[in-house]
Amino acid sequence: MKNTAFNDISLEVAASTFAALGSEQRLSVLRTLVRAGDQGLTIGALGERTGVTGSTLTHHMKILAQAGLVNQQKQGRSIICAAVAFDEVRALSEFLLKECCADLDTEDCSHG
């Protein structure tokens, strides 16, 4: 979802991003990073909290990063900090909800 207007993501971009979340482990990693907030977590702390470690965690982080859902930064000499890309997550949820009840009379919609 990189470089995508947040309020107008395409069906193709949304499908690709949802595909990146099509693994319990990747979804767990993303949820853990959302819980950690803007500061994110080191790779070690992320592995401890999710139970996903080593090359498996590296693989999942790569997929999530390619989808624009997480960012990784090197801090200091050896600690890699992983932080979630909140705007992209928000855009994905807005994609699902932006046309909520569009085919109903506004009086019939209880969601907005």
Residue 25 lies in a domain: yes
Residue type, 50: T
Per-residue pLDDT of 46-71, as tens digits, reads 999 999 999 999 999 999 999 989 88
- Find the domain containing 79 and state its range: 11-97
Contact 61, 53 (CB under 8 A): no
Residue 67 within any structural domain of the chain: yes
What's residue 2's pLDDT? 46
Is there a domain that residue 6 lies in? no
Helical pair 86-97 and 11-20, crossing angle rounded to 10 deg: 120
Tokens of 53: 């470690």
In a domain, 89, yes or no: yes
Domain CATH number, residue 92:
1.10.10.10
Q: Give the 3-state DSSP-derived string for 16-58, with helices as H, strands as E and coil as C.
A: HHHHHCCCHHHHHHHHHHHHHHHHCEEHHHHHHHHCCCHHHHH
Q: For residue range 4-32, list pLDDT tens digits in order.
A: 444 568 888 889 889 999 999 999 999 99
Considering its fold, how many domains does the chain have in total?
1
Q: Is residue 111 part of a domain?
A: no
Confidence of residue 95 (pLDDT cuts 50, 70, 90): confident
